[in-house]
Amino acid sequence: MRKFNYEFLKNKNWDTEIISYISQIHEFKGRQELFLSQKPDVLKKLVDVAIIQSTESSNKIEGIVTTNIRIKELLQKKVMPQNRDEEEILGYQDVLSMIHENYEYIPISPSIILQFHKALYKYSAKSIGGKFKNSQNYISEIQKDGSQTVIFTPLSPFETPTAIEEICSSYNIEISKGEINPLILIPTFVHDFLCIHPFNDGNGRMSRLLTTLLLYKLGFVAGRYISLEEKIEKTKHAYYDALEKSGIAWHENNENPTPFIKYILGIILSSYRDFEERVNIFDIKPNAYEQVKKAVAKTIGKFTKSDIMELCPNIGRASVENSLTKLVEEKLIERHGKGRGTFYIKP
């Protein structure tokens, strides 16, 4: 029977890649206070952008989508949800905002996990919110011929409440001891949560919300300003591959958590790098054109107006458009396509 005791992580030897990830993340974390204290106006705008990106991307991974305009209107509470997807998108944003505003006071416990799940489905007609699964679920892979193959069987409904209690308890014990690096402990906890798969629906989104909460509570706050969920959505094949590899022999307590830990650490490190780069774009508050030009210099391959607006959240759409037009006229970039299909490249 599967047991949960994170003390085993204390004596495990990690490869040089994981050690390097951890070292670099701690270096970035050491510098983050400087940015947080010196550039509050820029940071507020980055938070607003990140909340939209995180809500959109985390739901998109699960096939829950709506238009960009509708997402912004929903999150600004200007409109009411029109369908199931929009109900669940709005629920996700509510939980994410709760974490952003109160993470210091939110304990890691089964009751909190259930409350988050209930809030996730607050706007939904589904009655599953805040309840552990009542039937066996499976993690399946769709084959080319359309058939499904079960690649992992989570714990049974009967085992689920005890398992969630155990991972929370063991996590809290080891965090309080301080003998295991939290950057090892957090991905291990999240991986176990996903393998337990405690709910009938919403497990993936809940795992990403919990990742955000756990990181914030331990001072790793880059995800407030750079969307972790967007990075996961853009690399979701690597995400699922790492999950599958780390799930081998999980039921027998003989799994290797390294692939998933390595993947999550890569996402965190990438977020910190983007955080510093994005804040530095506004270091001396240049005019809109100079900001856009600096942002374009950091792009690789083709990019869109929306990409530049994400990098320059403190200037408006019209200013971005005018700056891009000027860069085209100066032959510093080239415009391709028309309408919504417009993109740019650096010659």
Verify that 265 and 309 share a domain, yes or no.
Answer: no
- Dist CA 347 CA 333 (whole Å): 6
* Residue of 290, 306, 318 lying closest to 344 (CA atoms): 306
Instruction: State the residue range of the domain holding 92.
Output: 6-280
Verify that 272 and 311 share a domain, yes or no.
Answer: no
Residue 266 backbone class (left: φ over 0; alpha: ψ -120 to 50; beta: rest): alpha
Verify that 209 and 303 share a domain, yes or no.
Answer: no
Quick one: pLDDT band at residue 285, thresholds 50, 70, 90?
low
* Residue of 108, 194, 66 lying closest to 92 (CA atoms): 66
Verify that 130 and 179 share a domain, yes or no.
Answer: yes
Query: Residue 281 has what pLDDT?
Result: 61
Verify that 153 and 23 share a domain, yes or no.
Answer: yes
Verify that 122 and 158 share a domain, yes or no.
Answer: yes
Verify that 302 and 270 share a domain, yes or no.
Answer: no
pLDDT digits (tens, 9 = 90+) for 248-266: 999 999 999 999 999 999 9
3-state secondary structure at position 230:
helix
Burial of 23-55, coded b for 16+ CB within 10 Å and e otherwise, reads eebeebbeebeebeeebeebbebbeebbbbbbb
The answer to whether 261 touches 187, Cβ cutoff 8 Å, is: yes
What is the crossing angle of helices 160-177 and 182-196, to 10°? Answer: 180
Q: Of 238, 263, 280, which marks where a domain is finished?
A: 280
Tokens 């959109």 locate to 56
Verify that 73 and 170 share a domain, yes or no.
Answer: yes
Query: Residue 286 has what pLDDT?
Result: 63
Q: How many domains does the chain have?
A: 2
Verify that 293 and 330 share a domain, yes or no.
Answer: yes
Verify that 221 and 137 share a domain, yes or no.
Answer: yes
Q: pTM for this one?
A: 0.83
Query: Residue 68 has what pLDDT?
Result: 79
Q: Of 251, 280, 309, which marks where a domain is finished?
A: 280
pLDDT digits (tens, 9 = 90+) for 186-208: 999 999 999 999 999 999 999 99
Tokens of 32: 């983050």
Report if residue 1 sits inside a domain: no
Report if residue 125 sits inside a domain: yes
- Dist CA 275 CA 290 (whole Å): 19
Evaluated on CA atoms 225, 229, 230, 232, the torsion sign reads positive
Report if residue 173 sits inside a domain: yes
Verify that 259 and 330 share a domain, yes or no.
Answer: no
Q: Of 280, 310, 334, which marks where a domain is finished?
A: 280
Greatest alpha-carbon pair distance for the chain in Å reads: 67
The CATH number assigned to the domain holding 55 equals 1.10.3290.10
Please give the span between the terminal C-alpha atoms of the chain, in angstroms, as a whole number. Answer: 59
Higher pLDDT pick, 298 / 126: 126
Query: Residue 310 has what pLDDT?
Result: 79
